[in-house]
Structures are given as structure tokens and as C-alpha cells.
């Protein structure tokens, strides 16, 4: 166990280290951005190559030719756009990492990166660019996406061109044009000149062709056995894929010049009735190392669907299943992402090598035949094996490999989930701490000023909360009972509880802040009002018709035109009285509410809803709201009641003053956070008559709350 823990901690530290580099974060985010385009490209490719004979005959017919032409245009267009999209996205996310508050710089860098990507992939000999665009030049997208913003930000920070930062004019568009234009021109000219000189001196037609030539000169090693070269080719391909490049395309010449002739020799031998000799050849390598795409993507899809606890990964795996069957792995590879992942790097590297070794051993001892047929790479895994190893032998062998690969991937999928959970829990804990600090200082929480790492966690919370609200999952109301001085339950406060899949229960004020800034507060409050009214209706049916339930709203809620309508709707729907549904507003929100919000409170008051001020005693609520009878009850601030048992003279004096004030204005007063009998007695002595806290009960779900009420009835 210690060894495993140490191994896990090492991988987690490596992952943390990688994600501390803005360049790595930018590339991984850009890859995720490109998934929709890959979806279009992949499904178009599948529809073009779908291996049903009648379907292929249809595509060659009069009507089918138009369909095929249409699909080909979509597929080629999507492929061409990928490189452009990634170049722009890498630049955009890189600037967001290093200049998080400057969106203008991010957009300018994106445009500059697209231009420089075109400069780097253009064929200088033919003057053509379209043939070079796409997934094959993805690594050029990375280079342009990082180089362009790095140069631009350096020139921007040193103020080489245009007006100084201190000389901004009234028109920001003019300022940014003057500021960024010359820098973009200079950077573009420099990169174009360097690219042209490099291509001229090295006698290559483009940067892409230079990389292509370089990778294809690495192998084969002269005088080395084909098996050795095959292993080295597999390793090279996998490393390139881990770096976000298309390893198969970038090493195509090695396959064509060295391994394909070995297959041709086998085909000629089989045609002449001779025994083929080459276990290793182009198609045998592809068959056992690229099923589902690079790294045996189909096995990873199945492993994720079997054991992953991440709804996000499972969703992605379901979308990836069909492309993976046709050996297209980019959706999964960029979406998990596999690239730059030390956790997935281990199985990603070793599984193709293990598969190759098993095939080589079995073919060597003649338990399976050698490959003597060519096969289209996009044909499904089992179809290829059936044609190349025999109708029975091929599918059985491939199934066994697939099972083995899934078993190898499973612990790493679990480890990846653990890492995601560890990172997300850490980030949400930090968000919670920052929010609590804002609450203590009584200042607004600004999520836009968060570091990018925490903003990512914030956005995940917004997305997950929105989904759970729509689906009615993982979110429910708890009820904390309130009693009077005689021990009689007078009602409860409705408390929201959201259980996020990775962090468990989220700090409730953070849920509200996420909903507010994620523009789903209305949906969240509709859920709260509905559940509270539904619970009151249930209580009435169980003869608890004198109880009330209070719900919390924010100052933002009061600004919505439909707030009163929402409350009236649930009261009408469940047949309860407005006097049973109490509305709580914090003292801070009461202070800062504009006139229209106060008018809305008055409307609620006139309709019979009871209004409470929460956290009363530490702010500066205007006495006129109490004097004019706006509110019916005040709830003491927890900081006052928590320390009352420690004989805090100041707190006792404040509470005594508040109780006299409440008596004067005929207001009820509730003490929260009552956790000991001594504390309760002190509060009673000071004039408090209603109590809420763990001494009475913790927050309870609806079933527990009804059980609590029944137990109080029995005590009578």
C-alpha cells in the first residue's frame, strides 16, 4: 500500500507540475475546444467509409455521389479548421493564464496566432496553404499558439509601439488598434522572414514538411531486426501522440518505405503458395497497436464506461465509442485529455507494446497466422482482424487483446478520477475559504478576480449545478427545527444542500454565489420555494398545520420582477397560506437593497408573507425598517449567540438591547447556533424566546424532520 501511495503521489506531483506551466494548460484547453470540430470530422469520415457493401454501392450511384460529395466537403472543411482553431485557442488560453483580466490581449493574440500558423504551414515552393491545414499540422498550431502571444506580450509589456498605457483615449477601439497593430505587423514579418530563411537554407518547402522529413529519418535503424524497428516505431508514434501530434501521419514514410514492403513480400509469398516470413509488417503493427486509434482508444473508452465515476468522462466516452470502433481516437485523446497526462502516459505507451509482443510470440509459434492482406485503417477492429487472421481466429484473438487492454487501463482510469477529485476538492476548498473571508470582511465576493485554476473549478460548479437543477439530482432541502421557550416546535428554516459528485456537500453560501453569478439563481430559488411549499403541504396533511417554514432570498432576488409571482404560484399550487411561508433576508442585503427591492418587500408583506432579517446585530440596519413594521422577526447574528455562554459582557449587552428593541416594535426574535443548554439559558435570561441550533436538532431531511415532529408530539 505504501508503495502504491508513493507511486500515486509521484504521478499527482508530476501532473501538478505540468499544470503549473501556462503553455501546457493552454494546449490542453485548446484541445478540448477542438472536440466539436473533431466530432464533425469523425462522423463524416465514418459515414464515408462505413463498411457495408450495399451502402458503398449506393455512394457510387447517381444520388449517392452527391451524398458522398457533400460528406467529403464537410469532412475536409472540419479537418482544415482544426489547425486554425487550435492555433487561436492556444494563444487565447495562454494569455488568459498570464494576463487573466486582459481579454483584449487574448483576442489580439488569437488573431495573430492564426496568421502566423498560416505562415508556418504554407508551402513556400507552391505558394499553397490549404493542403497543409488540419490535424496533421496540429503541432504547428501549438508552436504558433505559444510563440505569437509570448512575443506579443513581451512587446506589449515593454511598450515598444503606439501610445503609452497611461495615454489611453476615450475610444478604447482606437487605443487597441494603435497599440497592437504595429506589434502584430512586426511579429508577423519576423516570423515570415525566419520561416522563409529556414526553408530556403534547409531546402524544405514548409515548416510542416521539415518536421515530417525529420521524424521519418529517425527510423529505421540500419541492420536492426524488423522487430526492433517496429518497437521503436510504436514508441515514437505514442510519444508524438502524447505531445498532441498525429504520430501515425508524422511517421507515414517509415511505414511506407520499410514496413509496407514486408507486407508485400508476404502477399507475394501467399499468392505463389509459399509460406510468408514477415511477422512484422505495416498492417500487423497497425492491427494490434491502433485499434480504436492511438493507444488502443477503444479499450480506454470501455474502461471509462465500466469504472469511471466522472459523469463528464463517461459522457465523452459515449460520444467517442463509435469513432473509436472506426479507429478514430482524437475525440477521446483531446477530451480526457491524454496529451500531457503522466497518469495515462503509462498505459498509453505500454499497451501497444504488450499487444505487439503477444502477437509476435503467437505468430512465431504459429498459433495465429501472419498478416498477408492489406486493410483500410478505418475499418472496425474486428473486421480487420477477421480479414487478416481468419474469420474465427482474428475476432477471438482481438477480443482477448481488448479484454487485456481494458484490464490494464482500469486502474489508471480510477487513478485519473482520483486525481481529478483531489484537484477539484482542493480548488473548491480554496473557493470556500475565499468566500468565507469575504463574508467575515463583509465585502462582495468577486469570482472574476479568481486565478484561472479556481475559475475553472467555479465554471464546473456552475455547469454541474445547472445540470443537477434541470435533472433534479443531488440537490435537496434540509430543515432545521426552531422551538419556542416551552420546547414546542414552531417551524423550521429551509436549508439548501447540494451534493456535487466529486466534493460531496458544497458550502451553501458558495452554492448561492455560484447560482447568482452563473445566472441560475432564479431556477435555484424556484426549486427552493417549490420544495418548501411542498413540505408545508405534507405537514398539513399530517396534522402539523400550525408550522411555518422560512426560505432565504438575496437582494438580487428582490430585483426580479417575477419574485412575487413565483411565491404566489407555489402557495396556490400546494394550497398553503402565505403566513406559513416566511421570507428571510440578511441584514447586509436589507441595507444595500435599492428602493424597488424594498417596495417588493412591502408587496410581500401586504400579501401576508412574514419577513425576517437574518444575521441581525452586526450590521447597521436602518431602524425605520423595523419602526415601519416591514419585518416581523429578527434572527440574531451567530457571532453574538455563539459566545454568549462564555459570559461575554459586550455580547450580552447587545442581545439585551436587541430584545428590548424587538419588544418595542412587537417583533419576534430567534437565536441561531444554539449548541448548549447553558447558552440557551443565558439567551432566555436576556429575553430570547425562540431557538434554532444543534442543541435542538441538526438540519434534517424531510423524512427526518417529520420524525422529529412526531417525537416532539410524544413528549407532550
Q: What's the CATH number where 709 sits?
A: 3.20.20.450
Burial class (CB within 10 angstroms; exposed 0-12, middle 13-18, buried 19+) of 305? middle
Cα-to-chain-centroid distance, residue 21: 19
| Same domain (yes/no): 110, 139 | yes
Which of 359, 386, 420 terminates a domain? The answer is 420
pLDDT attached to residue 410: 96
Quick one: three-class SS letters along 98-143? Answer: HCCCCHHHHHHHHHHHHHHHHHHHCECCCCECHHHCCHHHHHHHHH
Which of 196, 214, 232 terminates a domain? The answer is 214
More confident residue, 703 or 615: 703
Closest CA to 92 of 80, 79, 109: 109
Q: To the nearest whole number, what is the mean pLDDT of the chain? A: 85
Within-domain flag for 487: no
DSSP state of 255: I
Helix, strand, coil % in the chain, rounded to nearest 5: 65, 10, 25
Euclidean distance between CA atoms 203 and 607, whole angstroms: 84
Least confident of 47-61, 235-249, 276-290, 611-625: 611-625
DSSP state of 700: B
275 sits in which H/E element: none
**Mean pLDDT score, 355-373:** 92
| Same domain (yes/no): 140, 156 | yes
Within-domain flag for 416: yes
Closest CA to 668 of 693, 694, 687: 687
> What is the sign of the dihedral through the CA atoms of 332, 334, 339 and 340?
negative
> End-to-end distance of the chain based on CA atoms, in angstroms?
55
Closest CA to 683 of 449, 673, 262: 673
Q: Which range of residues forms the domain containing residue 47?
A: 18-214
Within-domain flag for 698: yes
pLDDT attached to residue 627: 64
| Same domain (yes/no): 329, 256 | yes
Within-domain flag for 25: yes
3-state secondary structure of 60: coil
| Same domain (yes/no): 684, 559 | yes
Within-domain flag for 665: yes
367-396 core/surface letters (b: 16 or more CB in 10 A; e: else): ebebbbeebeebbbbbbbbbbbbeeebbbe
**Mean pLDDT score, 261-283:** 91
Backbone angle region of 619, left / alpha / beta, with phi > 0 → left and psi within -120 to 50 → alpha: beta
3-state secondary structure of 168: coil
Q: Is the pLDDT of residue 1 over 60?
A: no
The structural domain count of the chain equals 3
* CB within 8 Å of 393: residues ≥ 6 apart: 368, 369
| Same domain (yes/no): 210, 225 | no
pLDDT attached to residue 356: 95
Euclidean distance between CA atoms 188 and 473, whole angstroms: 51
pLDDT in tens, 109-133: 998 999 888 888 877 676 666 556 7
CA atoms within 13 A on the CB side of 199: 21
pLDDT attached to residue 617: 64
Burial class (CB within 10 angstroms; exposed 0-12, middle 13-18, buried 19+) of 39? middle
| Same domain (yes/no): 265, 385 | yes
pTM of the model: 0.77
pLDDT attached to residue 2: 45
| Same domain (yes/no): 202, 312 | no
| Same domain (yes/no): 190, 317 | no
Closest CA to 106 of 161, 148, 166: 148
Euclidean distance between CA atoms 417 and 318, whole angstroms: 17
Q: Is the pLDDT of residue 232 over 90?
A: yes
Within-domain flag for 584: yes
Euclidean distance between CA atoms 116 and 184, whole angstroms: 10
Task: Give the bridge partners for 633, in sequence order.
Answer: 612, 668
pLDDT attached to residue 124: 67
Q: Is the pLDDT of residue 331 over 70?
A: yes
| Same domain (yes/no): 287, 170 | no
Quick one: three-class SS letters along 531-592? Answer: HHHHHHHHHHHCCCCCCEEEEECCHHHHCCCCHHHHHHHHHHHHCCCHHHEEEEEEHHHHHH
| Same domain (yes/no): 237, 346 | yes
Q: 454 and 435 in contact (C-beta within 8 Å)?
A: no
Full DSSP string of 353-401:
HHHHHHHHHHHHTTSSPPP-S---TTS-HHHHHHHHH-TTHHHHHHHHH
Residue 491: band (very low, low, confident or very high) from pLDDT cuts 50, 70, 90: very high
pLDDT attached to residue 713: 65
Backbone angle region of 191, left / alpha / beta, with phi > 0 → left and psi within -120 to 50 → alpha: alpha
Q: 485 and 689 in contact (C-beta within 8 Å)?
A: yes
The angle at the Cα of 436, spanning 430 to 439, to the nearest 5 degrees, equals 145
290 sits in which H/E element: none
**Mean pLDDT score, 215-237:** 91
| Same domain (yes/no): 367, 228 | yes
| Same domain (yes/no): 155, 236 | no
pLDDT in tens, 666-692: 888 999 999 989 889 999 988 999 999
**Mean pLDDT score, 131-153:** 84
* CB within 8 Å of 12: residues ≥ 6 apart: 419, 422
pLDDT attached to residue 619: 52
**Mean pLDDT score, 160-186:** 63
**Mean pLDDT score, 419-442:** 89
Q: 616 and 647 in contact (C-beta within 8 Å)?
A: no
pLDDT attached to residue 385: 83
Within-domain flag for 306: yes
Within-domain flag for 3: no
In total, the chain counts a number of residues equal to: 716
pLDDT attached to residue 200: 84
Euclidean distance between CA atoms 567 and 590, whole angstroms: 19
Which of 388, 420, 452 terminates a domain? The answer is 420
Percent of the residues in the chain that have a pLDDT greater than 70, as a whole number? 91
pLDDT attached to residue 649: 64
Percent of the residues in the chain that have a pLDDT greater than 90, as a whole number? 33
**Mean pLDDT score, 703-716:** 78
C-beta atoms surrounding 603 within 10 Å:
12
Amino acid at each position: 500500500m505504501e508503495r502504491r501511495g508513493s507511486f500515486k503521489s509521484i504521478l499527482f506531483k508530476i501532473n501538478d507540475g505540468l499544470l503549473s506551466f501556462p503553455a501546457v494548460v493552454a494546449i490542453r484547453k485548446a484541445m478540448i475546444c477542438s472536440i466539436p470540430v473533431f466530432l464533425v470530422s469523425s462522423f463524416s469520415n465514418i459515414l464515408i467509409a462505413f463498411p457495408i457493401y450495399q451502402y458503398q454501392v449506393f455512394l457510387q450511384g447517381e444520388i449517392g455521389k452527391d451524398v458522398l460529395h457533400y460528406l467529403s466537403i464537410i469532412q475536409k472543411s472540419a479537418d482544415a479548421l482544426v489547425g486554425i482553431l487550435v492555433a487561436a485557442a492556444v494563444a487565447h488560453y495562454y494569455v488568459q493564464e498570464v494576463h487573466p483580466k486582459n481579454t483584449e490581449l487574448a483576442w489580439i493574440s488569437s488573431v495573430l496566432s492564426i496568421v502566423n500558423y498560416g505562415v508556418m504551414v504554407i508551402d513556400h515552393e507552391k505558394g499553397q496553404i490549404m493542403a497543409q491545414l488540419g490535424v496533421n499540422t496540429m503541432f504547428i498550431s501549438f508552436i504558433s499558439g505559444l510563440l505569437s502571444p509570448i512575443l506579443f506580450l513581451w512587446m506589449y509589456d515593454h511598450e515598444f509601439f503606439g501610445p503609452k498605457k497611461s495615454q489611453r483615449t476615450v475610444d478604447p477601439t482606437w487605443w487597441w488598434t494603435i497599440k497592437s497593430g504595429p506589434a502584430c505587423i512586426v511579429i508577423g514579418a519576423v516570423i515570415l522572414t525566419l520561416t522563409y530563411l529556414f526553408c530556403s537554407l534547409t531546402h524544405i518547402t514548409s515548416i510542416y514538411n521539415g518536421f515530417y522529413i525529420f521524424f521519418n529519418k529517425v527510423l529505421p535503424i540500419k541492420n536492426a531486426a524488423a522487430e526492433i524497428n517496429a518497437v521503436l516505431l510504436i514508441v515514437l508514434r505514442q510519444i508524438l501522440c502524447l505531445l498532441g501530434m498525429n504520430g501515425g501521419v508524422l511517421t507515414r514514410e517509415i511505414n511506407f518505405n520499410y514496413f509496407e514492403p514486408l507486407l508485400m513480400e508476404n502477399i507475394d509469398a501467399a499468392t505463389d503458395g509459399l509460406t510468408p516470413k514477415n511477422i512484422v509488417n505495416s498492417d500487423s503493427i497497425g492491427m494490434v497497436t491502433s485499434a480504436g486509434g492511438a493507444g488502443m482508444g477503444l479499450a480506454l473508452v470501455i474502461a471509462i464506461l465500466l469504472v469511471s465515476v466522472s459523469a463528464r468522462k463517461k459522457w465523452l466516452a459515449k460520444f467517442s465509442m463509435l469513432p473509436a470502433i472506426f479507429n478514430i481516437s482524437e475525440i477521446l485523446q483531446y477530451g480526457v485529455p491524454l496529451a500531457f497526462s503522466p497518469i495515462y502516459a503509462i498505459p498509453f505507451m505500454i499497451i501497444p507494446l504488450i499487444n505487439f509482443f503477444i502477437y509476435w510470440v503467437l505468430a512465431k509459434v504459429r498459433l495465429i497466422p501472419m498478416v498477408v492482406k492489406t486493410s483500410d485503417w478505418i475499418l472496425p477492429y474486428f473486421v480487420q482482424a477477421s480479414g487478416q487472421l481468419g474469420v474465427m481466429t482474428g475476432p477471438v484473438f482481438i477480443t482477448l487483446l481488448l479484454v487485456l487492454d481494458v484490464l490494464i487501463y482500469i486502474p489508471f482510469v480510477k487513478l485519473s478520477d482520483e486525481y481529478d477529485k483531489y484537484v477539484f476538492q482542493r480548488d473548491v476548498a480554496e473557493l470556500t475559504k475565499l468566500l468565507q473571508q469575504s463574508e467575515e470582511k463583509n465585502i462582495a465576493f468577486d469570482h472574476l478576480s479568481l486565478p484561472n485554476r479556481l475559475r475553472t473549478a467555479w465554471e464546473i460548479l456552475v455547469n454541474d449545478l445547472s445540470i443537477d437543477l434541470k435533472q433534479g439530482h443531488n440537490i435537496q432541502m434540509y430543515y432545521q427545527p426552531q422551538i419556542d421557550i416551552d420546547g414546542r416546535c414552531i417551524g423550521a428554516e429551509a436549508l439548501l444542500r447540494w451534493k456535487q459528485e466529486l466534493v460531496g456537500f458544497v458550502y451553501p453560501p458558495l452554492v448561492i454565489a455560484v447560482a447568482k453569478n452563473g445566472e441560475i439563481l432564479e431556477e435555484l430559488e424556484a426549486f427552493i420555494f417549490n420544495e418548501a411549499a411542498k413540505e408545508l403541504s405534507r405537514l398539513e396533511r399530517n396534522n402539523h398545520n400550525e408550522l411555518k417554514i422560512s426560505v432565504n432570498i438575496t437582494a438580487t432576488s428582490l430585483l426580479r420582477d417575477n419574485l412575487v409571482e413565483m411565491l404566489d404560484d407555489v402557495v396556490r399550487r400546494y394550497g398553503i397560506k402565505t403566513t406559513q411561508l416566511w421570507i428571510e433576508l440578511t441584514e447586509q442585503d436589507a441595507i444595500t437593497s435599492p428602493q424597488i427591492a424594498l417596495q417588493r418587500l412591502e408587496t410581500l408583506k401586504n400579501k401576508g408573507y412574514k419577513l425576517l432579517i437574518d444575521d441581525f446585530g452586526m450590521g447597521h440596519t436602518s431602524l425605520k425598517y423595523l419602526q415601519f413594521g416591514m419585518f416581523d422577526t429578527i434572527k440574531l447574528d451567530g457571532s453574538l449567540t455563539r459566545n454568549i455562554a462564555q459570559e461575554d459582557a459586550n455580547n450580552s449587552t447587545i442581545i439585551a438591547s436587541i430584545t428590548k428593541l424587538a419588544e418595542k416594535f412587537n417583533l419576534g426574535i430567534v437565536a441561531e447556533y444554539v449548541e448548549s443548554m447553558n447558552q440557551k439559558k443565558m439567551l432566555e435570561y436576556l429575553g430570547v424566546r425562540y431557538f434554532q441550533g444543534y442543541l435542538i436538532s441538526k438540519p434534517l431531511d424531510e423524512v427526518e424532520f417529520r420524525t422529529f415532529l412526531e417525537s416532539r408530539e410524544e413528549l407532550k
